[in-house]
Structures are given as C-alpha cells and as structure tokens.
Structure 1
Amino acid sequence: MGLSLWILLLLLHFNEGIHGVRFTKNPSNQTVTQGNMARLGCALEGLSEPEIIWMKDGEKIYITDQMYITLDAHHWETFYSVKSVQQQDAGKYWCEVEYRGTIISSEPAWIAVEGVPHFVEEPEDLATFAGEPFNLTCAASGPPEPVEVLWWLGDQQKGDFMPSPSVLFVKGVNDSVKFYCEAKNARGISVSRTGTVHIKVRPDSPRDVKVHHVSDLNITVTWSPGFTGHSQLSTCTIQVSKGSGKKVKLPDLDVVVPPFQHVFGGLHSYSNYSVRIRCDNEVGSSPFSPWVDFHTPEAAPSAAPKNFTFELSEQQLTLSWAALEQEELCGRLLAYKVQWNQGGENQDPLLFKDNIARLSGAGRFFNATFQVAACTNAGCGPWSQPVLVMPVSATQAQTQRGHIWVGLLFGLLVATMVGLLLVVLVRNRGKETQFGSAFTTPGTELPVSFTAARSFNRQFPELPETTLDSLGINSDLKAKLQDVLISERLLTLGRMLGKGEFGSVREAFLKSENNSGQKVAVKVLKTDINSSSDIEQCLKEAAYMKDFHHPNVIPLVGVSLHRRAQQRLPVPMVILPFMKHGDLHTFLLMSRLGDEPFAVSQQILIQFMLDIARGMEYLSNKNIIHRDLAARNCMLNENMSVCVADFGLSKKIYSGDYYRQGSVSKLPVKWIALESLADNVYTTQSDVWAFGVTMWEIMTKGQTPYPGVENSEIYEYLIKGERLKQPPDCPGDIYEIMHSCWSPVPKCRPSFQHLIDQLELLWAKLNPAPVKEPLLYVNLEEEDGEQASGPGADVGTRSSEDPSWGVPWQCVGIEEDEKDWLMVSSGAAFAIGGDYRYIMGPCGGGIDEESRRSDDGLSEDIRDEEEDIIINV
C-alpha cells in the first residue's frame, strides 16, 4: 500500500514537470453600463491545488468567497464578479499564481464603465490677490465619449460647453467667489465639487503662546498660527521684554516657520520676562499676540562674595563678607557655604544664612584658610579669594610696623642708659669690696620665706571621703544631690556593660547600712575627663532623675563620688537600677539576628510603644525635653516593661516651651526633628518626632533609620519631604501614627497623650494575649552570667531599604507661612554640595561627626554606629 502511494505521487510530480504551469484562459476586455454586472475568468493548468490571486491596477483584490472549478486533476478555473459596476470599478485586471518562488501572470483585461462622465481633475480651492488673473481647470471622461465641460463662476455660467479637459481664464475678482463645472456625455451630466477663490489678506495674530523651560538660560516658545489669510506663513517675529511694570524691550527675533516654535537663550537667571509673537505672509504682518509672562529658573551665582574679612578674639573667630547683588546671585539665596583648610586638608564645609559667621574656639583656626561661596537652589557659585587666619590680622600688623622703628630707637636709648648705670655700680662695688665696706650694717640678716606648692606623704594613708563641696558645682545642684549621695565604700564595681561618649556603664553591687544589698548599674564618667563642666553635666542628669517617679521612667538610686589619687576632682558615678533585659534596641536585634531568633508579637511591640509614650508624657508634663529618645536609650526591666533612660542631653524648661542649643553637644542626627536640624531649637514636639523614629525602630526590629542615607544627607532628604518608609510588616494604621510625628510643622504633630490614646485603641483591637511571654526571656542566663546591658550601651544594624513616604499631613489652625511646610519641598538645599546637615544662622559654627560603637559582641554587619553631630555656637 505504501509503495503504491509513493509511485502515484511520483507520477503526479512527473506530470507537473511535463506539462508545466500555464494559464489556459485569460480575462477579456469588457465595457459595462454603470449598474450592470461584470464577470472575469481565469484558468490555470499544471498544479494540483493552485491559489489564484486577482489583481486590479497593481493591487491585490481580497475576495472572501472565491470559488474554483475543477476542469481535470491539474486544471482549475476561477472567476471574479462585480454585481453592480460603478465608475470606480473601471481599470486593468489580471490573475497571478506563485510557483516555486516565481510569479506567473495571466494576460490583462480592462473593464470600462459606460455611464455619465466621471471627473479626472476637479476644481480645487484657490487663493489669489484681489484683481489678479488666474486659471481654473476641469477634466472628465466617459465612456461614452465625447465629454464636454461647462463652467459656473458664482451664480453665472461662463461660456458654453467645451471639450474636456477645459481651462477657464478669469481676469480677476475682488471678493471670494464659488465655482464648479459640469461634465456631459450621451449618458447624462455630472457636477464637480464646488471650489472657492479666496482673496489673500494679512494673517491673524498667533494663538496659544506658551513658554517651556529647557535649561537655566534657554527657553522654548511654542505657538499656534491664527488665520493665515489664505497665504502660507513665511516668518514670525518674537519680541521679548525684561522686567515687570516698566519693561525693557530686547531686540526682535525673526524665525522661519514652520515649525511654530523657537529655542533661544541669552536670558538672565531668576528674572521676569514677557514674550509676544506676530507672523507674516506675502500680504503683510499679523497683529502681535498678547504678552505672555514667564520667569527664568535659578542658576548658580555668577560671582564670588567680596570683601571677605575676619576678626579673631580669644573666644571666637568672626567671618564677614559683602552680600551679592541680585544679578550676581542669579536666584534666591539659599545659604553661604564656607570652606576651610587646616594643615593642607579640607574640612567639612559650613552653611550660613547671613553674610556673617561666628565660630567658637578661635585657637583651633590659627593658620587655617577660609573661602566663601553663595548658593542657590541651582548650586553654588565661585569661591572667594582665600583668607589666611593669623593671631594678628594683616591690618593690625601694618599699623604696628609704623611703631617698630620708634620702639627700637627708644629701646636703644634705654639700653644705653642702663649700661652706663651698670658701669657706675660695678665701679662702686669694686671700691667697697676693696676697702671692706658693705651696704648693710653689721649683724643685720636678710629674711627668707617660702610657701610649699605641694606636700607629700610617703605613708599612703587612705584617701578621705569625698563630698560634693570638692566638685566646684553650683549650690542649687549641690543641694539637690545632697540627700542621694551614697558613700563609695558601699559600692563594689563589676564587669563593664557598655561604653558611651562620656564614660562607661558597669555592673555593681550596692550594700546598704544593714548589710543587705542589690545589683545596680553605675554610669562612670571617663577618668580622663577633668573638666568641672563635664562633671556638672553628668550630675545634672542625676538631678533630673531624682524627681522621677513613674513606672516607665528609669529612677535614680543615688550618686557616688570616686576619689582619685593625685587628682583634684573626683569621678562622679550615677547609680541606677539594674535592668535585667538590657536596652530595647539590643533586645529587638536579638529577636532577629541572635543565635536563637524568636518571634515578638504585634501586641508586645505596641505595648513597648505605649510604655515609651507614657514615660515621655510624664517627662513632658514635668517640662523635661529628652533630646535623645531612641530604642538604645529605652531599658527593659525584669517585668519586660520599658523605661525611658539616658538623660544626658535632657533640658528642663523654665520659661516658654522651647530650648535652643547653645553649647557643644553630641546629637543623634537620624532621630532629630527637621526644625532642630535647621535652627537648633528643641521642644516637646521634637521629642515627638524622635518617638516616631523609635516606633519605626520597634516595627523593624532594630534596623537603623534611613538605611542608605548618610548623616550629611539627612537634612536635604527631609527638606524634600522624604520620610522613613513603611516597614514591610507594619500595618497602615501604625505607620500613619508614626508618620504624623514627622510633620514639618511642629504644632501639627500629636501630643504624647494623643499618641497614648491612639496606641491604646490599636492595642485593644488585637486579640488579648499575655504581654509577658516566656519566649522573650531567651537573652537571659543564670544570675552570674547575664548578658544584659545597662544604660549607655549602643547596638544597631543597617538596612538597605530605600526610604519613602506617602501619607499626607493634616493640620488645622496653622499660619499661612507654615502651610508651605506641609507640601513637598522643591529641594531647597539639593544642589549645594558638601554638608547639608544644617543651614545655620549667623551664630552657627563648625560641624563635626562622632560615631560610637558598643562592645556587645555582635558581628560587624549588625552594628549600629550611633552617628552624632557636634554643634559649636
């Protein structure tokens, strides 16, 4: 069976090769009356199943119901029919078939449609000058032929029928007029479309004039042409004027159109301009369009500040310079950037709002070189000439040179007189010695007396008990601490729990008078700190804590003084309760990254937030600004309740409701509110900002805020409206609460009492669950091997998440000038470069960075470098 089929196919292929492929029937020419049917046919021989295509005037005809008639096994016939022939069906027709990559075509045939004339060339609209002669053309054809044409101009017949094609000569018209033509043959009359003769006039003024900014000093103007006046526009004239009110007209600019747009430059930055346009055709110019006002964007200043001078005193260095003119500024002044070089190394640049800067610690600026540049939103301008700071200014040196010679001459005169006097005395002395004389009477003794600067005791007796009187602190602070002073002999210091900026935290055992005792944590000031001011700052923290009585605020156990041999001042020690579970930040990190990670329920996380909010609400009611609220400064007691701790940066407010930073302090940049970064102003609302960041730490289980954003970029990041991104596992209602804490307007942030109410509602919505879960004690060991850390231990981690925000701030009752802060900023400090942490006032000063690491033993990839800034004012 298979062999027979193969033989049959071979025979079929052989037959195709013998006979070949050819058309045995071609379509025939036809003349068809309009409305009748036309039918064309083709026959093809040599293919078993051909696909025959019909073509008309070079284009394929798409037939949906094409039929094939089999004449024999390799001979096929097909037809193309038009049921009702119209004039558009007239044309050249043929068949095609593809065979082995070659197109085989039939002979062509024509269908001619017999009926009323059809127009080959109809009248077109025409534009001409008034009274100027012109020609009109009309052509029509049959069949049947001949075809004659008759012209109509307006309502008047022009002449009689003339053979097609026909050209009508018109001597000219003064107004627009309509025209058309009629074509006649034996079958009837056809009427052409109606054309219009337009009279050319001046164009109308351009429309939709718009200005698009391309770059700082180049703009793009676009417009739409108005009525062209029936004549193509050739050029347009652009007029630009500068200034508001009385304008200064700039030279006209002629541009070829189309396109109807133009890019031009040469404008000044940050200036008001107006533009208007007119267009021309061959008749004349259009009226000008209305003036369109626009404002060029800012650019970097074009000049450096002049008259850069300095004044140096024992306490501070004062820099001053002349403000730039508006044309030199090229924008709105954002800040002045001061760059300085010390010992061949560039230091961090400083930013100032005004053209004066006062920097404390004048001695550290000796031999430093300073330069200043003005900055706008677009960037900073050129640097001024460098100024070298010397102990005596150049002006003073020049003044003193005039007195040097006088001093030298006077000194020479004095030296001469002293020399003569000595010669006389030596001679007299020689005479007295020679003759046995003396200046004093016999038996008289000269008295000798001295005072010992330091005494020594080689027996090394026990150092006397230290009192507060030996510290040199003020009397008010001494009175507050007198009743909490604990003798040093009652303390036994143990292992170190953590290190901070000013000292360390150690485990200790405190004995009482009845020989009972308790484990405590002791904050010890660094032994190499000998300044009374540092000691007083440490004791102020204890004084604040003395009056704290709240379950969510760490209390004070007492204060002790460690006497050091051969040292004038003792080392103060602040005694605190021992927090069994360490700081909250370490606890959160261990839940994620410890050797045995464990789950912390959302109820417990919200309970942590509630504890902190209640503690901060208590502090705010006592007029205390914490200024360093963060998870690392919140401690977990044995009941897993959070206590707010570490009041080293706290300030008590005695008047008003704000505190302005005015001394050197180390501040945690990523927890500081926007207004504190800008103006060094701290309020309870700035503590609310830090509470929002602490909420974010809790929800991310101890991640570092603003992952990927450097300290130097924080101010720029916040001023643009960016905020911390919603953590992946954080519900939207919790994120809305923390995001409300970061409103750029302080008065729009919630109070701590309002935060407590919101968090209590969220906690109540969750299914009740034990707050103190056993799994939370995985970081505990036996009493002798506890891994908890006391106040001051800092541990952290870094995250790669990109910060973002999308929750709008709402606020009622704010001033108009504060509403702008609720909008996303336009990037005020974006283009300055260098250090954006602060834009300082005239009292701002140097900036430095401090990073502290805790000794908690965690691997490097989960360490949190506590990034601080020193602000010198």
Structure 2
Amino acid sequence: DPQVIVDTGLSQSLVLTVILPVTNLSVQVLAYTAAGDGPWTEAVPVSLADAGTPDRRVFSWYWWYVVMAVTVAMVCAVCFIVMVTQLRKKAIRYGEAFEPMIERRGDLVVHYRVKKSYSRRTNEATLSSLGISEDLREKLRDVMVDQRCLALGKTLGEGEFGSVMEGQLNQNQFILKVAVKTMKISICTRSEMEDFLCEAVCMKEFDHPNVMRLLGVCLQSNESEAFPSPVVILPYMKHGDLHSFLVMSRLGEQPTEMPVQTLLKFMIDIARGMEYLSQKNFIHRDLATRNCMLNEDMGVCVADFGLSRKLYSGDYYRQGSAGKLPVKWIALESLADNVYTLHSDVWSFGVTMWEISTRGQTPYPGIENAEIYDYLLQGHRLKQPPHCTPMLYQLMSECWHTEPKLRPSFQSLRQSLEELLAGFSPAPETGEHLYMNLREEEEASGLKQACGMGCWEAEGQRPQRTEMRSEASSGYRYVMVPLDAATEHTECNRFTSVRHEVTDPLIEGEVEEERVIINL
C-alpha cells in the first residue's frame, strides 16, 4: 500500500487534504529527536467522511467595499428621482406662478405669470379621475383648457353651491378677461357635477350675439379634495346679470329711471337669443333676468343653462321628489307634468318681460312657492305693471295661455317687440349720467354679489342708503339716467300707466306695493 510521510515540525495539528479517491485510509504518528526516531503508533483507520473539513476561503474586504459603494449610489439615485418628481408635480400645478421683481421704488412685487402650454395627456388623466361617462369625456375633449392657462382672481358672486370669479385666460400669447363659474365640489354629488359638465357641453355649439358662448372647461386641482373641481370659462360680462342691474336702477343712491326704449331693447335681445335657441331645438327651462347677462355694450346674452339654480337657490323650490324648480317662472303644464317644451320657455319669457317692466321685482308678490300651482290653476296671472302699455302687457298675457300651442313663437314675439320699439321716438341723449361703482365699498365690507331682493318699501320706513347699497351691491359699474333728467321726456320714455278696477285682494296689494314691506 502507498504511504505518505508528512513532517509536521513542532505543530500539534495537521489538516490532510485527500485528492485521489481511496478505499481505506489509516494514520500513524511518531516523534523524533536529535537522538533518533521513536516508535510508530498503532494505525488508526479514518473514513472518508472524517477525512477532513472543507477548505474555508479567507474573506476579502475588497468585495465589501464594492457592495457598500453600489448600495449608497442606488440610494442617492432613488432620492434624486423622488425630488425631481415632486418638483415636477409642483411645476405642473402652479406653472412658475410667481416671479419676484424689484420696482424702482425698491418694493418687492410679485407678478403672476400664466403658463401657456399644456399636455392633453394630463387632461385626459384628470377627466378619467372624475368618474364621468365615456361619452361626456369625448364631448369635453375639444373644449378642455389646462389649469396653467387660467388665473383666477376675485370673487364676483357667491351662492350656496357655487360662485362666479373673475379670471384671466392665456390664449396664444393674448390675455383675455373671463368669468369663471365654479362648483363647491365638497357639497355637490357626483351626478350634480356631471350635470354641470353636461350643461357646459351644450353651450359649445352656440354662436349668437345674444347667447352666452362657452370658452372652455378647466379642472382645478385641490389638495384638500379627492378629485379636481370642474370650472366653466365664459366671456366676462362687465355689467353683470340683468336682474341685479334692474334692481340697482331702482335702489341706487339716487332714484333713477330707465328709458322705455332701453327696457324694450333688453326684451328684444332676449327674444333674439331664445329664437336662435328654439331654431336649434334647445329648451332652456330656466329663463329669467337672473340668467341673462349684460355685456359692455349693454347687450343682453341669454346664459346660465342650469347653473343658476346653484347660485340663486332662493328662487327655486323642491316640488315632490323632483329637483329644485323655479316655480314662479315655470309654465303651468310643466308644474303639473314636469314636461318642458319650447312653449314652456315662452311662458318663462313672459315672466321675464314682467321682471324687466318692473325693473327686477319678484313675480307673484305675497304668493308662496308651494301655492303657485293652485294660484295659476284658478286663472290668476301676473298683473299689469305700472307704466306698462296695454299692448306690451297683452303680449305678456299671450305667453301665459293655458294651451301651450296657442302661445306665440319667439320669432313672433321678437317681431312684435320690434314693432313696439319702432313706435317710440329715439331715447333722449343726456350729458348727465349717474355712475355707481360699488367695488371699493364691497371690498371694504367683504360683501358678496346679491342674488336678488324685494323692492317694496313702506312710507317713513325707507332704509339707510348705505344699507340698501350693501344689500344690492353686485360689484359692477352701471350707467343710468337720473330721474330728474328722464322725467323731462315723460312722453317718450315711459310706458303709459294703466290701472284696472281692483276687485282681487291680491291686486289691491300690488296697487299699494309702495306702502308695503315684503321680506323675501
């Protein structure tokens, strides 16, 4: 048998590595000195399992340094990516909104600059987060405006469920002053939000000088809300809504009188707008002076295709299980069967003409919303306003015919009103005008735009002028003819006053309306 002798020197242990396969293995040990070798020990058999332990490689600190360096580099890269992502999100949301600049006086002034570019992919993702239908998203796609192109300003009016704000829209390097209608998304349901967007979509096809047109729809992100809030962008109307304008013409600092020609032009503008909508088979369902806007040229635009019920909630009444309805403007058949047609819009136009003739008074004074249907069913209608010609009141009465098909069309109404206007001499030119600018007082007192008010005062109980202006202030600038100037042209500026025999207590109440206080 082969033998291998290994000299271990002074070591007390030895590790033997067996490379070749062996069937049996034995170990013997002897000691040697300078005097000679000692005897061998007896052979000790060793099995292969006990032949020895595997070789243990010595650990290298070089590889440990490499692992640590790679780990640190990965952590730094992740931190950098997270930081860049957060900065990008902030830039998308605010778009480098503020730029500090030093004026010549040395004051630090912050100017707002609107970003002009946007990503349609971002809009699509935001629309998807609203949870609206695919059909509605498709209709909104071509009217979406990125929020970086829209800068919101001060609030022009606010109601329970929404508000109107002044804004600036960046369109191809041009800044356009706009009005922005918003919803208080926190208290509105998802279906109400979808209705809000549907009403905006229906406006995008309108193109008429007397119909409000849609500029766009924007989604404003809010960190406190789960999803963005939709806003509707409309042209800015310098003089606000027609109802507030008419109320202010009666309740300003000075008594004022508006020429009859101006009132008739308001009616004609509305009739033209409604004629255009009727030709498109569009049913408004909520025509009233509060839903008509005055532009810079004093032209009237039919507007607010449903949004006004969010802002003027006091004029709406919930009937049964239906939603809130403006019952004092709704046709008899609509109250009975909840059916709306072009003929029911004609009924509402008659009430709107009555509002203009009375310069913003509330229809059916003293009659509760819940009593309107029975009141109309008994044959009662709005009474002839003071200073209203019989021909004009006859035109109103035709709009309130019980049989819808017997009511005149908007084309017929527009022609009749134009004939009435042609019968008056041109409105007199006066060098003296009354300018009422309520913006500064409104900002000082924090008052919001009034949505409407009663217009009856008792003798000796006329409120303070400042209080009256506060209640009626709408934040717009109005130009009106003073009463003393208008009275010089009574023959051509006023409707002929016609008083009927008073047999109904309700009529008596209207005759004495200047001696009665009615709280609305």
TM range (shorter): 0.5 to 0.7
| 2:435 aligned to which of 778, 784, 809 | 778
- Which of 483, 499, 509 is residue 168 of structure 2 equivalent to? 509
Q: Which has the higher helix share?
A: 2
In the TM superposition, what is the alpha-carbon distance from 1:864 to its structure 2 partner?
8.4
- Please, which of 828, 842, 857 is the counterpart of residue 471 of structure 2? 857
Partner SS state of residue 539, structure 1: helix
Which runs of no fewer than 5 residues in structure 2 stay unpaired? 1-81, 94-121, 309-318, 459-468, 474-515
Q: Over residues 22-43 of structure 1, what are the superposed CA-to-partner deviations in whole Å (9 max), with x where a residue is unaligned?
A: xxxxxxxxxxxxxxxxxxxxxx
Residues 191-590 of structure 1 aligned to structure 2 (within 5 Å) = 461-462=89-90, 465-466=122-123, 467-514=126-173, 516-529=174-187, 531-565=189-223, 567-590=225-248
Superposed counterparts of 1:53-68, under 5 Å: none
1:743 aligns to what? 401
Contact persistence 2:169–2:177 (CA under 8 A): yes
Give the match's secondary structure for 1:482: helix
| One-letter code aligned to 1:521 | A
Contact 1:585 1:796 in 2 (8 A): no
Alpha carbons 1:581, 1:779 under 8 Å: kept: no
- Going from structure 1 to structure 2, the CA distance change for 1:800 and 1:523 (only over 3 Å counts) comes to same
Q: Say yes or no: does 1:714 pair with 2:377.
A: no
2:264 pairs, out of 606, 622, 626, with: 606
Higher relative contact order (CA 8 A, sep 6+): 2
Structure 1 residues 649 and 530: CA distance shift in structure 2, 3 A = closer
2:250 to 592, 615, 621: 592
CA positional deviation for 1:692 = 0.4
Residues 1:690 and 2:348 aligned together: yes
Corresponding position of 1:325 = none
> Which string of whole-angstrom CA distances, capped at 9 and with x for unpartnered residues, describes residues 53-73 of structure 1?
xxxxxxxxxxxxxxxxxxxxx
Kindly tell me: are residues 510 and 761 of structure 1, through their superposed partners in 2, closer, same or farther at Cα, counting changes over 3 Å? same
How far did residue 799 of structure 1 move?
A: 4.6
Aligned counterparts, 1:84-233, within 5 A: none
Equivalent residue letter for 2:392: I
Distance 1:698 1:587 in 2: 10
Contact 1:795–1:856 (Cα < 8 Å) also in 2: no
CA RMSD of aligned residues (A): 3.4
Indicate whether 1:797 and 2:411 are aligned: no
In 1, Cα distance between the equivalents of 2:430 and 2:127?
45
| Contact 2:450–2:471 (Cα < 8 Å) also in 1 | no
The question of whether the paired residues in 1 share the 8 Å contact of 2:355 and 2:363 is answered with: yes
Going from structure 1 to structure 2, the CA distance change for 1:776 and 1:619 (only over 3 Å counts) comes to farther
Matched residue type, 1:490: C
Q: Distance in 1 between matches of 2:240 and 2:345?
A: 22
Residue 858 of structure 1 deviates from its aligned partner by: 2.7
Distance 1:534 1:776 in 2: 44
Query: Which of 655, 665, 670 is the equivalent residue of 2:323?
Result: 665
Alignment length (residue pairs): 341
CA spacing shift, 1:639–1:681, aligned 2, 3 Å: same
| CA gap 1:590/1:862 in 2 versus in 1, 3 angstroms | farther
Post-superposition Cα deviations, 1:146-172, rounded to whole Å, max 9, x if no partner, equal xxxxxxxxxxxxxxxxxxxxxxxxxxx
SS in structure 2 at match of 1:493 = strand
Q: Which amino acid aligns with 1:520?
A: V
Does 1:615 pair with 2:229? no
Residues 771-802 of structure 1: per-residue CA shift (max 9 Å, x gap):
x9887773457999999xxx99622324599x
Instruction: Please identify the structure whose Cα radius of gyration is greater.
Output: 1
Equivalent residue for 1:755?
413
SS at match of 2:408: coil
Using the TM superposition, give the Cα deviation of residue 501 of structure 1 relative to its aligned residue in structure 2, in angstroms. 4.8
Q: Distance in 2 between matches of 1:862 and 1:482?
A: 51
Report the CA distance between 1:511 and its aligned residue.
2.2
Cα offsets for 1:723-756 (capped at 9, x unmatched): 1110121010000000111111111111101101
1:670: how far off? 0.7
Structure 2 distance, partners of 1:498, 1:782, is 12
Displacement of 1:679: 1.1
Preserved CA contact (<8 Å) 1:581 1:780 = no
How far, CA to CA, are the matches of 1:668 and 1:864 in structure 2? 18
Structure 1 length as normaliser, TM-score? 0.36
Q: How does 1:41-80 map to 2 (within 5 A)?
A: none
Q: Verify the 8 A CA contact 1:630 1:690 in the aligned structure 2.
A: yes
Deviations 1:94-135 (A, max 9, x none): xxxxxxxxxxxxxxxxxxxxxxxxxxxxxxxxxxxxxxxxxx
The residue identity in structure 2 corresponding to 1:621 is Q
Instruction: Report deviation, 1:690.
Output: 0.7
Deviation at 1:560, TM superposition (A): 0.5
Q: CA offsets, 1:637-678, max 9 Å, x none?
A: 00000000110179xxxxxxxxxx998432111111111111
Taking the aligned partners of 1:575 and 1:611, their CA distance within structure 2 comes to 22
1:625/1:500 CA distance change after superposition, 3 Å: farther
Which residue identity lines up with residue 647 of structure 1 in the other structure? Answer: F
SS in 2 for 1:519: strand
- Asked if 2 retains the 8 angstrom alpha-carbon contact of 1:504 and 1:523, the reply is yes
SS in 1 for 2:454: coil
Question: Contact (CA 8 Å) 2:161, 2:188: kept in 1 or not?
Answer: no
Q: CA separation in 1, counterparts of 2:302 and 2:360?
A: 16
Whether the aligned pair in 1 keeps the contact of 2:449 and 2:472 (CA below 8 Å) is no
**Matched-pair contact (CA < 8 Å) for 2:196–2:307:** no
1:499–1:792: 8 Å Cα contact kept in structure 2? yes
8 A contact 1:510–1:520 mirrored in 2: yes
Partner Cα distance (1:785, 1:647) in 2: 28
Helix, strand or coil: the match of 1:559? Answer: strand
Q: Deviations over 1:813-855 (max 9, x none)?
A: xxxxxxxxxxxxxxxxxxxxxxxxxxxxxxxxxxxxxxxxxx9
Measured in 2, the distance between the counterparts of 1:749 and 1:799 equals: 31
- TM-score, normalised relative to structure 2: 0.60
Does the CA-based 8 Å contact 1:615-1:643 persist in structure 2? yes
Distance 1:566-1:600 versus aligned 2 partners, 3 A rule: closer
**Equivalent-residue separation in structure 2 for 1:796 and 1:776 (angstroms):** 25
Give 3-state SS (helix, strand or coil) of 1:857's partner: helix
SS in 2 for 1:681: coil
Letter in 2 for 1:643: C
Q: 4+ residue stretches of structure 1 with deviation over 4 A?
A: 456-461, 463-466, 661-664, 772-777, 780-787, 798-801, 861-865
After TM superposition, give the deviation of residue 471 of structure 1 in Å: 1.9
Are residues 673 and 741 of structure 1, via their aligned partners in 2, closer, same or farther at CA, if it must alter by over 3 Å? same
Question: For 2:216 and 2:518, how far apart are their aligned partners in 1?
Answer: 32
8 Å Cα contact 1:500/1:793 also seen in 2: no
The one-letter amino acid of 1:645's match is: A
Q: Structure 1 residue 639 and structure 2 residue 253: aligned?
A: no
Contact 1:509–1:518 (CA under 8 A) maintained in structure 2: yes
Question: CA offsets, 1:247-299, max 9 Å, x none?
Answer: xxxxxxxxxxxxxxxxxxxxxxxxxxxxxxxxxxxxxxxxxxxxxxxxxxxxx
SS at match of 1:671: coil
Rate the CA distance shift 1:554–1:715 in 2: closer, same or farther, 3 A. Answer: same
More strand by share: 1
Closer, same or farther in 2 for the Cα pair 1:777/1:572, shift >3 Å? farther
* Map of 1:165 onto structure 2: none
